[in-house]
Amino acid sequence: MARAAEGFRRFAAADARLERSIARDFYAHPDVHEIGRRMDEIAGDLGTMG
């Protein structure tokens, strides 16, 4: 049982590292900021339509 718990702990730690790496790469990409800006612009336009 202790071996399974250790394996799960190691898996969870590796999963957390991978998630942080993906998030860091995603938010560092220059297109992300442009996409966010355009989404805000569209949301503003939709808000003034109704």
Please state, in angstroms and rounded to a whole number, the distance separating the CA atoms of residues 3 and 15: 18
Q: What is the CA radius of gyration of the chain?
A: 20
Please state, in angstroms and rounded to a whole number, the distance separating the CA atoms of residues 32 and 38: 10
Q: What is the DSSP letter of 29?
A: S
Q: In terms of pTM, does the model score above 0.95? A: no
Give tens-digit pLDDT for 12-44: 999 899 898 888 887 777 787 788 888 889 988
pLDDT given at position 45: 84
**Among positive and negative, which fits the CA dihedral 32, 35, 37, 43?**
negative
Has residue 50 got a pLDDT over 60? no
- Token readout for 45 is 């336009």
12 HSE (CA, 13 A, CB side): 6
